[in-house]
């Protein structure tokens, strides 16, 4: 898509029904979906420490990856 076409498209509106996932305050456009840079950093720290876990099969239980 050319730069000219991108300028003519209307900007998408973000959903504002949910608050910041860290503190619950209303999200800001600059830090969406968070309310501030501080909450963004808190969330990143949680990911890096392993506080958020995506469930899956334990390694070595068979399946497609087994030889």
Residue 55 lies in a domain: no
Residue 37 lies in a domain: yes
pTM above 0.85, yes or no: no
Q: Which domain holds residue 42?
A: 17-49
Residue 21 lies in a domain: yes
Residue 38 lies in a domain: yes
Residue 39 lies in a domain: yes
Structure tokens at 59: 């390694």
Total count of domains within the chain: 1
- For residue range 10-65, list pLDDT tens digits in order: 555 555 468 999 999 999 999 999 999 999 999 999 999 989 888 888 888 766 65
CA distance 15 to 8: 22
Residue 56 lies in a domain: no
Residue 64 lies in a domain: no
Residue 2 lies in a domain: no
């Amino acid at each position: 898509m050319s730069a000219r076409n991108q300028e003519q498209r209307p900007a998408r509106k973000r959903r504002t029904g949910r608050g910041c996932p860290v503190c619950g305050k209303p999200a800001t456009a600059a830090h969406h979906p968070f309310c501030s840079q501080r909450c963004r950093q808190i969330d990143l720290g949680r990911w890096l420490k392993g506080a958020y876990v995506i469930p899956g099969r334990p390694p070595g239980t068979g399946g497609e990856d087994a030889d």
